[in-house]
A = this chain, B = another copy of it.
Amino acid sequence: MKKFKGACVIGQSGGPTSVINASAQGCIEAALKSDAVTKVYGAAYGITGVLDDRLYDMTMEDPLQISRMKHTPSAIFGSCRYKLADPLTNAIDYQRILDVFKKYDVRYFFYNGGNDSMDTCSKISAFLAQNSYDCRVIGIPKTIDNDLACTDHCPGYGSAAKYVAFTCMEVGLDAKVYGNGSVTVLEIMGRNAGWLTAASALAKSMGSGPDLIYLPEVPFDLADFISDVSRIHDKQRDVMVAVSEGIKDKNGTYISSYFSDTSKDRDAFGHARMGGLAGSLANFANAKIKAKVRGIELSLLQRCAAHIASKTDIDEAYLAGKTAFETAESGISDKMVAFKREEGAEYKCVPVLVDLVDVANQEKKVPREWINVSGNGLLEPFLDYVRPLIQGESELEIVNGVPQFAQLKKIMTREI
C-alpha cells in the first residue's frame, strides 16, 4: 500500500500516568525513522495544542532525551480535559483542527488517552473524512483506571497497580507496629471502576495489606462497613481497609457526599472543605470502634510514581505507541491499539486493533465474579489477572541520587 507522506502529531490527554510518555516515545521514535514522515510534532496540552497552534518539533530534540521519556512521569507535552463539541451542532473546533492540520500537512494523528479521547479521535477522523482531508487517526490507550473496553488492560494501570500493591504492603507493616489496635483506611483512585483499588489485594497476598477492600462495583453500606471492621478488629486488633474514591450506596449516591455537606462543612475561615473520604471513614469507624484511626489518600502519588513503574507496563506502553505509528503508516485509520492476552500459563499480551467507536465512552468494570460474595475482597481470578501486569523493575537511571527524567527543549514551530 502506498504510504501517505506528511507530518505526524501526537497529543496526550486526560490524567497522566507513569508511562504515558513511554507511549509517546514509541510513536515518536517510529515516526522519526519513517520515510513517510516529514515532521514529528508533540501537541502542547493535548488537543488544545492543535487548536492553539502550539506544536513542539521533535526533530529538534536530543534523541537521548527522547529515550528518557520511557521513565519520565506526567504527560511531557502537557495534557488537557477538553471535550470537543458534537460536530453536528458546533464544528468550529473541528474546522480549526483541519486548518492547523492543513497548515502543517499533518497526515498522521495519534491521541493518547482514555475513553473520552477515543471519542475525540473518532469525531476528528469523521470530520476530516467528510472534508476529504486524508489523515490516519489512531488512538493509544492510557489510564490508571483500566476501564477501557475492548482491551485486556490499559498501559498505565500496571505501574499504578504496582505502586498501590507496594505501598499497601509497606503501610500494612507500619500501621500495625504498636500492636494496640488501629484502623487505617486508604483511599485509592477510581470513580466508577475499582480496578486500581482491587490491586491492593496483591499486597495482602504478598503478606501484608488491606483486610477489607471496597470497590464502586458493589453497593457500599456504612453499617456493613462498621460490622466488617469490628469483626476484624476483635480478631486481630489492627485493621487495614482500602476503598475506591467512588464507592456508592445502593441508590448510586457517592459515599464521599455523605461526609461533605458543603453548606455546613466549612473550616474556621468559612471555606468549603475538600473531600477526604479515607479520613471521614476512619473517623466514622472511630466513633464505633475504640482504636487509633488514620485516613491516607494516595492522591497524585499513585499515578506519577515512575520510580516504581512496572517494566511490563513500560514495555507495553512503548509498544502501544510504536504499533500505533506502524498501523497508521500501513494505511489503517480509526483504530485504537488494544492488548489481547494469549492463552497459556505464561503471560503474553499482543497488540491488536479495535474500532475507536467501540471503545469511545464505554467503561469496563471489575467483573462481579472476581469480587467475593460479601463484596469486601477480591478472589484469585483477579489476582491471576493483575499479577503479570506489575512484573519487572523500571530501569530509570539515577545519577548521584538524581533520577534522569527527560528534559525536552519544546521548540515551537508556529513561525513556519
A residues touching B (Cβ–Cβ < 8 Å)? 16, 44-45, 72-75, 78-81, 162, 165-167, 169-171, 173-179, 184, 202, 206-208, 258-261, 264-265, 267-269, 271-274, 276, 279-280, 282-284, 286-287, 293-297, 299-301, 303-308, 387, 390-391, 393, 398, 400-403, 405, 407
Whether the Cβ atoms of B274 and A45 lie closer than 8 Å is: no
**Given A170-B304, A202-B401, 14 other A-B residues pairs in contact with their CB atoms under 8 A:** A16-B177, A75-B177, A78-B177, A165-B401, A170-B307, A174-B304, A175-B300, A208-B405, A273-B279, A273-B283, A276-B276, A296-B300, A307-B308, A387-B400
Contact of A78 among B72, B81, B178, B286 (CB under 8 A): B178
Whether the Cβ atoms of B299 and A287 lie closer than 8 Å is: no
Whether the Cβ atoms of A274 and B268 lie closer than 8 Å is: no
Cα-based distance from A260 to B273 in the complex (angstroms): 12
User: Which residue of chain B is the closest to A299 with respect to CB atoms?
Assistant: B296
Cα-based distance from A303 to B177 in the complex (angstroms): 12
Instruction: Across the A-B interface, give the 4 residue pairs with the lowest CB-CB distance, nearest first.
Output: A74-B173, A174-B304, A170-B304, A74-B174
Whether the Cβ atoms of A178 and B81 lie closer than 8 Å is: yes
Contact of A283 among B206, B267, B407 (CB under 8 A): B267
A200: min CB distance to chain B, Å: 14
Contact of A74 among B177, B258, B305 (CB under 8 A): B177
Residues of B within 8 Å of A294, CB to CB, are: 274, 299-300
Cα-based distance from A300 to B393 in the complex (angstroms): 23
What are 28 inter-chain pairs, A to B, with CB distance below 8 A?
A73-B173, A74-B173, A74-B177, A78-B178, A79-B178, A80-B178, A166-B403, A167-B301, A170-B301, A170-B304, A170-B307, A175-B300, A206-B403, A207-B405, A208-B405, A260-B268, A267-B280, A269-B284, A271-B284, A271-B286, A272-B283, A273-B283, A274-B282, A294-B300, A296-B299, A387-B400, A391-B400, A391-B401
Contact of A297 among B296, B305, B400, B405 (CB under 8 A): B296
User: Which residue of chain B is the closest to A173 with respect to CB atoms?
Assistant: B74
Residues of B within 8 Å of A276, CB to CB, are: 276, 279
Residues of B within 8 Å of A401, CB to CB, are: 162, 165, 202, 387, 390-391
Cα-based distance from A387 to B398 in the complex (angstroms): 13
A62: min CB distance to chain B, Å: 15
Residues of B within 8 Å of A264, CB to CB, are: 268
Residues of B within 8 Å of A173, CB to CB, are: 72-74, 304, 405
User: Which residue of chain B is the closest to A15 with respect to CB atoms?
Assistant: B177
A331: min CB distance to chain B, Å: 33
Cα-based distance from A169 to B296 in the complex (angstroms): 20
Whether the Cβ atoms of A305 and B405 lie closer than 8 Å is: no
Whether the Cβ atoms of A268 and B265 lie closer than 8 Å is: yes
Whether the Cβ atoms of A295 and B274 lie closer than 8 Å is: yes
Residues of B within 8 Å of A169, CB to CB, are: 403, 405
Residues of B within 8 Å of A175, CB to CB, are: 300
Given contacts A171-B304, A307-B308, contact A393 B398 (CB under 8 A): yes
User: Which residue of chain B is the closest to A387 with respect to CB atoms?
Assistant: B401
A209: min CB distance to chain B, Å: 12
Whether the Cβ atoms of B79 and A171 lie closer than 8 Å is: no
A68: min CB distance to chain B, Å: 12
Whether the Cβ atoms of B303 and A287 lie closer than 8 Å is: no
Contact of A166 among B170, B265, B280, B307 (CB under 8 A): B307
User: Which residue of chain B is the closest to A21 with respect to CB atoms?
Assistant: B173
A47: min CB distance to chain B, Å: 13
Cα-based distance from A205 to B198 in the complex (angstroms): 36
